[in-house]
Structures are given as structure tokens and as C-alpha cells.
Structure 1
Amino acid sequence: MSEEVPLSLGQLSVWHDIRDLPARRWHEPNNAAAWRLPPGVSPAQVRTAIRTLAARHPSLRTRYDLHDADTPRQLPPDADLDEDLTALEGADADPLSLAADLAAEPFHLERQLPWRARLLTRDGAPSHLLFVKHHITADAWAQELLHQEFRRELTAPEGRSPPRRGPPTSPRSSTDPPDCAGRPRRSTTGRTP
């Protein structure tokens, strides 16, 4: 995208929910996460993984023209990411509380990228990535995909398999309904279509 474009339908939905909020509530659409890092990961590996995600997903590099509240627009994604990965020492800190504190700071979508990350360290070693993003950038489902891609970048950069499409998977529970593959479908009238 090399020029301003209208917001997507999902972005418009978020925008209509937030556009009239007073400044003291601008943080409300922020989502926070604390992603545990594998042991032995270096700050440079975390920084590279984050930059790879931002390069792959334009919404992580997009700012917005919000001057006209009735016709907000996406600005072209920034070509380069100069986001610094600040480290926070937190030996006894709760990662989720720190992420929530980070989410309490609003994004200025016209001037800032719609996400931020901090590297939580314990005794100098990286332990968690605190990741906060504005809901206009990605919903909770997409945030989980970003988390999965981030983990892949940390554990198998370059040689990773392509990202899986579709909702994140979770193990089946014994209370889940049985797989219905191969069974005839029934319509709402009770007849087989």
C-alpha cells in the first residue's frame, strides 16, 4: 500500500466504538500480553523476531489519519521499523501486571505505531516479552497468531514452516463433541440436505 486507504470493516468497527472517547479513556482498546520466552534466548533474538513480525504484517507498521472522524484513513505502512526494545528488570514483578501497566498508556495512532513491546528480564536474562497493541491493529485471535509466529521466529528462524492459517488450535477435551466428518449433514428442518 503506497497511499492512504480507507479503514477495513473491522478497523471501522473499532474506530466507531472509540472515536468519541475522552482522552482519559484512549487506552481502553489496548490489549496486553506477557509472552514467556524460552530459556537462553538473547535480547538480540527477541528484537529480530519482533522486527520480522513487523516486516511481515503491515498493520504493525501502520499509522492513521484521524483528522476527519467520519472518514478515517490508513497511512501507508512505514517502510522501516525503528522501534527500540526497552528492557525492564523485574525479578519479582508479575509479567501480566507489568503488561497491563504498559497497556494503560494510550496510543496516539496518528504519530505512533499501534503496538509496543518491552523485554522483561530477571537477573539480566530475558524472561518475557510484554506485548501491547491497539485493537484497531489486530483482534485477540490475530494476537494469538502473532504470538505463535513470534515463538516460531525465536525457535526456528528462517527454517520455519509457513504459518498455519485458521484459528489457533487447542488440544481436544474429552467433553468436546466427536468429529462429525463423513456424517451426512442435517438441515434445521431435520432433513438431510
Structure 2
Amino acid sequence: MASTPPSAIALPCDGDKRSRLADLLRSRLQHPNQFPLSFAQQRLWFLDRLQPGNLAYTMMAVVRLRGELNAAALERGFQDLVQRHEALRTRFVMVAGQPRQQVQPTGTVHLTRLDWSDLPPEAQTTAIQTEALDLAQQPFDLARDDLVRSRLIQLEAETHVLLLALHHIVSDGWSMEVLIRELAILYDAHRRDQQPALPPLPIQYADFAVWQRQFLQGEVLEQQLHYWRSRLSPVTAPSLPTDFPRPAMRSHQGHRHGLGISPDLTAQLQEVVHFSKGQRKRWTLSFLPASL
């Protein structure tokens, strides 16, 4: 039998490796749709239990959409997005005294539509701010609620605003950019009655949480703990002056303090912002005719 030359052997790509790892991790779970929390999620879950209904970890995104909008295609794209990312259809429940990620088989998208095209521009701006604040101030029940909420507001025939609210336990700043970018791709595909050109995900966030829990234990975890114990020992409370005694629970109520800065400092800050944008690609959306 002729042997196959090494150059002809197809090595698995990174996506295949991730997919195989995800399958392996899930095969070891007693319940395939229940996963441990990552350490970052566990912190947020603990803070939510400490202060139920805390609004500090609600993430908001406001996207202005310009051009002719197919609202039905947008809603279908949003539904596909939730189905694509398990984190967007995950709830956090107690199982045997421990918090677990429970992935729902399907996610429900409620794209509430509002028509404010009859309002003057000044009133529209105020109404958007009020609606965004109202959406941000609705607490999430991590065990029962869908952790993604949305509003689609029509301002003119070809001007809309999309409001999104997500709990930080299933999203962060980086993933919000991914969400918006993929929503644009899915919308465009549905608008054209085409299949979305998004490759399947080889691994989900819950797979990472399982891997993290299996990796950070035993000697590896003890080495990490030893490092920080040695750096932070002895533990001393910081001595910072305060203007009044602080309550036992944070209220998250802040105030605004205005100040003026010189034109020279303003120009320097603008240079820093320009440099930062050049170093890290940012995604902005605007509707063009027949596209997102």
C-alpha cells in the first residue's frame, strides 16, 4: 500500500480544533444545556444576588439607521443572531445550590416598534432619551428574563433608531460590536432573501466557561492564588478621606460636575482620541439605500 506523503495530510484548522474541544467538553456534562458560570459571570451573578435589580450592569447601545428599512428583515436577523449566540438565550438558575448557565433551545425576540414620525425633531430627541432611560431602568431577572431587549423607533420615512439593552453577564463592550456587525450582515441577507454569509461558530461562551473551570483548579489555581496572596498581604483597608459616611450598600447615584478646559488641552485630547481610533477599529452603522 502506498503511503500518503506528509504534505498531503490535511491538518485540522483552528476552527475544527475548537469545535472538537467544545464537543469534548459538552460530552462530559451531565446536562448538555446546563453549564458552570465563568469566573467573570460568577462575580456579576453574586453582585446581582447582593443587590437584586441593580441597574449598574445594564449595557445600552443606540444605533441610528438611515435609509429604507425592512423592519421584518431586521427582526428576522435579530432572531437569527439570538439563535446563533447561546449567550443571548441563556438564563442563570440555581441547580443543587450552585448557579448554572441554562441555555434555552430557542430565543424569543420582541422588537417593539414605535412610530414618532409625527413629533418635531426636538421632541424626538427628548423622547429617545426618555425611552432609552426607561429601557435601561428595567431590571433583569437573571433566572427568568430574556437578557436582550430592544426598541425600534421610526423618526422619518428613512430614519430609525434601534435601542438595545443587555445585561453585562451575557455581553461586554467588545461583544456589543460583534453583535451590531453580525446583525448588519444578517439583516442584509434577509433583505435580499439570501442565506447569511456567516460561518458557524465552532465554540460558544459556555464552552469557554467549562474549559476555564476545568483548567483553573488544583495546582494551577493554587499557584494563581499564592501569587496574589503574596502581593496583597497583609491586607489593609485604604485610608481615603470622604466627605460623609458611606452606606453599607452602594446606591449608584451620581452627580455631574462641569469644568472648563483650555483650547490647547482640548486639541491634545482630540489627538489622543484620533490615535486611539486608529489603533482599534470601531464599528459604526448607517443605513444606505437598500443596505445596512
Letter in 2 for 1:149: E
- In structure 2, which of residues 44, 49, 58 is the aligned counterpart of residue 14 of structure 1? 44
Query: Deviations 1:61-107 (Å, cap 9, x if unpaired)?
Result: 11110478x721111x2222333211122344333542232010001
Residues 28 and 104 in structure 1, CA contact (< 8 A), matched pair in contact too = no
Show structure 2 runs of 5+ residues with no match.
1-25, 27-31, 118-122, 201-272, 280-292
Distance 1:175 1:132, change over 3 A: closer
Residues 120 and 127 in structure 1, CA contact (< 8 A), matched pair in contact too = yes
- In structure 2, which of residues 76, 79, 103 is the aligned counterpart of residue 48 of structure 1? 76
- In structure 2, how many angstroms separate the alpha carbons of the residues matched to 1:19 and 1:136? 13
- In structure 1, how many angstroms separate the alpha carbons of the residues matched to 2:150 and 2:40? 23
TM-score by length of 1: 0.72
Aligned to 2:87: 59
Distance 1:122 1:8, change over 3 A: same
- In structure 1, how many angstroms separate the alpha carbons of the residues matched to 2:89 and 2:148? 9
TM-score by length of 2: 0.50
Show structure 1 runs of 5+ residues with no match.
164-172, 180-193
Matched, 1:88 2:86: no
Aligned to 1:35: 63
Aligned to 1:5: 35
Aligned to 1:79: 105
Matched, 1:148 2:185: no
Residues 37 and 100 in structure 2, CA contact (< 8 A), matched pair in contact too = yes
Letter in 1 for 2:115: E
- In structure 2, how many angstroms separate the alpha carbons of the residues matched to 1:106 and 1:131? 14
Residues 64 and 159 in structure 2, CA contact (< 8 A), matched pair in contact too = no
Residues 32 and 132 in structure 1, CA contact (< 8 A), matched pair in contact too = yes
Shift of 1:125: 5.7
Q: Which has the larger radius of gyration?
A: 2
Q: Where does 1:146-185 land on structure 2 (aligned, <5 Å)?
A: 146-157=179-190, 158-160=195-197, 175=275
Distance 1:7 1:132, change over 3 A: same
What SS class does the counterpart of residue 124 from structure 2 fall into? coil
Higher share in helix: 2
Shift of 1:119: 1.1
Shift of 1:151: 1.7
Aligned to 1:185: none
- In structure 2, how many angstroms separate the alpha carbons of the residues matched to 1:27 and 1:66? 21
- In structure 2, how many angstroms separate the alpha carbons of the residues matched to 1:89 and 1:125? 12
Report which stretch shifted further, 2-11 or 99-108. Answer: 2-11
- In structure 2, how many angstroms separate the alpha carbons of the residues matched to 1:54 and 1:137? 12
Query: Deviations 1:141-181 (Å, cap 9, x if unpaired)?
Result: 11111111112222345353659xxxxxxxxx8746x99xx
